[in-house]
Structure 1
Amino acid sequence: MKIYTKSGDEGQTSLFGGLRVSKNDLRVQAYGELDELNSSISISLHYVKTEKIKFFLQNLQHLLFSIGSDLATPFSEKKLRESIHLDCKGLTKKLEDEIDFWETQLSPLKSFIVPGGSIGASHLHFLRTNCRRAERIIIQLSKSEDINKSIIPYINRLSDLFFVLARAENHSLDINDVVWDQNTE
């Protein structure tokens, strides 16, 4: 299979099922944001030191690909949707359990923190912001088209987990959170 087809040279792409849409279609933007998040995870894996976090990120890459496939499949493609549709409710609960686990390893937050600390934690904070951007586009898409609504809470919780993982990465390296100094001018 060739990597190039030339079918997108006029600014169109195909969704699962063959429907042609503009490359700036909200659906394409939504799964494109997840693709960008996934690529950012691959970079983060080179900097994160905590093995348990790395293992989670490696598994997450495959799951994000599946979620992107779900978003790339219009509801009009009923046969395809049956094989691709994810129920993210259980997956969201797993993220909540993961957040709860990591929070038991950390001191409670008493103030806001800013991204920083180790390079691995900084990358995890970057993943959090990428995830939030993907969430905003997915929500925007959900206002105009039918999508798998269980994806939205999953992506919301995932960004929360990236925040906690950034703190955990710093903690595992004996690096303090960078506390927001609101008096800085």
Structure 2
Amino acid sequence: MRIYTKTGDKGETSLVHGMRVPKFADRVEAYGTCDEANSQIGLALSLLPQTDEWAELRAVFHVIQTKLFHVGAELATPEGKNVGWPIVEEDVTYLEEQIDNLAADQPPLTNFILPGGHPASSTFHVARTVVRRAERKAVHVAQQEKVNPAVVKYLNRLSDYLFVVARHVNHQTGAPEQYLHD
């Protein structure tokens, strides 16, 4: 199987089920931004030490990165077509549980946090902002055609989770959090 197909050489791509659209179509922007977020998450994970201390977090992210791929697949599926891996409310609940688990061991927030600290933490913050952009793009698509509401919820919770993970990484590695000052 070749990596290149040449079918996109004229500025179009195929959605799931074969419908051709411009590469700048809103759905393409939305699922492409999910792909970008997934890559940023992978980069952040690569910056963590390869130790047992991070094994549980890596396992959670394996689930999340797979689900984020599924979110992209949903956004790449035209309205009225069958989705192979639908996002469901239980996926959102899973993220909420992970947020609660990590946030329980963190110092309370008393001010806005500036992204920074450990390189992995900083990169999780970048991933968070990319997920926020994916969420905005998914909402835009949902205003034009039907989108599974769990997709938007999932992206919203994922950005929250990435914020908590960035704080967790700084806390675990001893990197100080930088607070916004007037």
TM-score normalised by L of structure 2: 0.92
Q: Is the 8 A contact 1:48 1:54 kept in 2?
A: no
The residue number in structure 2 matching 1:56 is 60
Q: What residue identity is the alignment partner of 2:142?
A: S
Structure 1: gaps of 5 or more residues: none
Q: Is the 8 A contact 1:129 1:159 kept in 2?
A: yes
The residue number in structure 2 matching 1:158 is 158
Distance 1:156 1:177 in 2: 23
Q: How far did 1:5 drift?
A: 1.6
**How many percent identity over aligned positions?**
38
Where do 1:91-106 residues align within 5 Å? 91-106=91-106
Structure 2: gaps of 5 or more residues: none
Distance 2:78 2:15 in 1: 8
Q: How far did 1:92 drift?
A: 0.8
TM-score normalised by L of structure 1: 0.91
Q: Is the 8 A contact 2:67 2:87 kept in 1?
A: no
Distance 1:22 1:132 in 2: 23
Q: SS in structure 1 opposite 2:117?
A: coil
Distance 1:149 1:115 in 2: 29
Q: What residue identity is the alignment partner of 1:44?
A: A
Q: Does 1:65 align with 2:69?
A: yes
Instruction: Report the RMSD for the aligned CA atoms in angstroms.
Output: 1.3
Q: How far did 1:84 drift?
A: 3.3
Where do 1:104-143 residues align within 5 Å? 104-143=104-143
Q: What residue identity is the alignment partner of 1:103?
A: A
Moved more, 92-101 or 46-55: 46-55
Q: Is the 8 A contact 1:45 1:54 kept in 2?
A: yes
